[in-house]
Amino acid sequence: MDLLLWRHAEAVDGTPDELRELTPRGHRQAEAIAQWLSERKPKCLRILVSPARRAQQTARCFTREFETAPAVGLAGDHRTLLEAAGWPGAGGAVLIVGHQPTLGQTASFLLTGKPADLSVKKGALWWITTRMRAGMPQSVLKASITAELADGE
């Protein structure tokens, strides 16, 4: 199974948190990752997006075909995110567009077994895949890309 963790792009400051919108720079970040992902996306990609406006806007730079999933939203954690994705047994690929610290904790949990606070840069994408080794799932970091690298900056 492939799990792609995409942090929403840069958003304006303010409240309420769930209504914050992308900045012009955030739109450029989201478009850069969307282009990179369009060229490499796995087949049969399921997309789960936080209900927060900035995450929805980020996802729309890639596609309008996604599920809004509160489990990957602002109140979610690594457990709710992995459950919503069906990790590791669902097969296929799932793209999550969400938030810190949940995405960093999820990446840490998958790669180390502990939900530590890894920092996922705004607009960045982490691609983790799992494979079975001796009957146990093993997580492997397949890619990690920032919007600046995707854009060639």
Name all domains of the chain by residue range, CATH numbers in brackets.
Answer: 2-150 (3.40.50.1240)
pLDDT per residue over 98-111, tens digit each?
A: 999 999 999 999 99
Cβ-Cβ contacts under 8 Å for 30 (sequence gap 6 or more): 8, 9, 22, 57, 58, 61, 62, 123, 147
Of 96, 8, 102, 93, nearest to 53 by C-alpha is 8
pTM, entire model = 0.95
State residue 153's pLDDT score.
60
* Amino acid identity, position 141: L
Number of H helices and E strands in the chain, helices first, is: 5, 6
**Angle, CA of 43, 46 and 47, to the nearest 5°:** 125
pLDDT digits (tens, 9 = 90+) for 13-46: 999 999 999 999 999 999 999 999 999 999 899 9
Q: For the ranges 72-81, 121-130, 133-142, which has the lowest average pLDDT?
A: 133-142
